[in-house]
Amino acid sequence: MTPNTPLLPELGPDDDLLRALLNKKAVDNLPDAFLLRADERDSGLSVSIKSTAQECRALFKKTYGVARLAVSHVRELDLTVIPDEPNHANIVGIPYKDDDPERAEWLAGRLAERATIIDRGKVERD
Partner 1 sequence: MGAYTVTWSTVTSGTMDVSTVSRKLGSLREVRSVADVPSITGGAWFPPREECTDQVSLTIAPRTPWILVIGVAGGREDSALKPIDAAPSQGFAEPLVIASYPFEPSSQATLDVTSGKLGLAVNELAQLKSSACEDGLEDPTEYANRCAAQVLGRAYTIFWLQDFLEYNKLVKPDVTTDDLGGVRISWRISSRVLRANFGADVKHRSYLYFEDGQFRGVDELRGETLAERLRWLVLK
Least distance between partner 1 and beta carbon 37 (Å): 4
DSSP H or E segment with residue 72:
helix 71-75
Q: Which is nearer to partner 1, 37 or 55 (CB)?
A: 37
Site for partner 1 in 53-112 (CB under 8 A): 62-64, 97-98, 101-102, 105-106, 109
Bridge pairing between strands 62-70 and 16-21: antiparallel
Which listed residue (9, 23, 75, 77) binds partner 1 by CB under 8 A?
23
DSSP run (H or E) holding 53: helix 53-57
The amino acid occupying position 72 is: S
Cα 75 from Cα 22, distance rounded (Å): 24
Interface with partner 1 (CB under 8 A): 22-26, 28-29, 31-32, 35, 37-39, 62-64, 97-98, 101-102, 105-106, 109, 122
